[in-house]
Amino acid sequence: MYSANSFHSGKIGNELRTIKREIDELFESLSQKGNTWASSLWRESSLLPLVNLRETNDRFLVTCEVPGMKIKDLDIQIEGEVLTLRGERKTDALAGQVSYLRRERATGSFQRSLTLPRAIDEESVTAIYKKGVLTVILMKEYKKPSHRIRVSYE
């Protein structure tokens, strides 16, 4: 049996430190300027906004982090049970005149599609953009329950 200290000081601790160092080196090599594949992958993944999908009794709530974006640069579409969010993060007006010391905020176009667990009422979809968070409210579609029709004889 190992104690908490044995993980940090013994053979296992050394192995964990080695694994951590190797992972750090891998990420460092992937982020080098010469690695266009990795930098392209990093750029694409950093463009995707973080999304939460919640469900209540009568609706789905989708929140999406898109700070600094203008409403005109956002596009929301619903087709069947798929919600698609598109947008474009534009470059600063000063981007060509500035030399960055560190640049982590990606610019460019993105698209996220979420498949909802059930049909929604497309006519009642609303969206609110406040403090960099887009909230899309999707009311669930309720079909009236079927009922039997009595046939009478004449």
Q: Above 70 in pLDDT, residue 40? A: no
Q: Above 80 in pLDDT, residue 28? A: no
Q: Pairing state of beta strands 82-89 and 74-79?
A: antiparallel
Query: What is the predicted pLDDT for the residue at 148?
Result: 74
Query: What is the predicted pLDDT for the residue at 1?
Result: 47
pLDDT, tens digit, 9 for 90 and up, residues 62-80 = 999 998 889 999 999 999 8
Contact present, 84 and 69 (Cβ < 8 Å): no
Q: Above 90 in pLDDT, residue 51? A: yes
Contact present, 46 and 31 (Cβ < 8 Å): no
What CATH number does domain 48-139 carry, 2.60.40.790, 2.60.40.1930, 3.10.129.10, 3.40.50.1390?
2.60.40.790
Kindly state the average pLDDT of the residues 34-49: 62
Output the CA torsion sign for 21, 26, 31, 35: positive
Q: Identify which has the larger pLDDT, 13 or 136.
A: 136
Q: Which helix (H) or strand (E) holds 77?
A: strand 74-79
Query: What is the predicted pLDDT for the residue at 151?
Result: 85
Mean of pLDDT over the chain: 81
What is the distance between the alpha carbons of residues 29 and 32, in angstroms, rounded to a whole number? 5
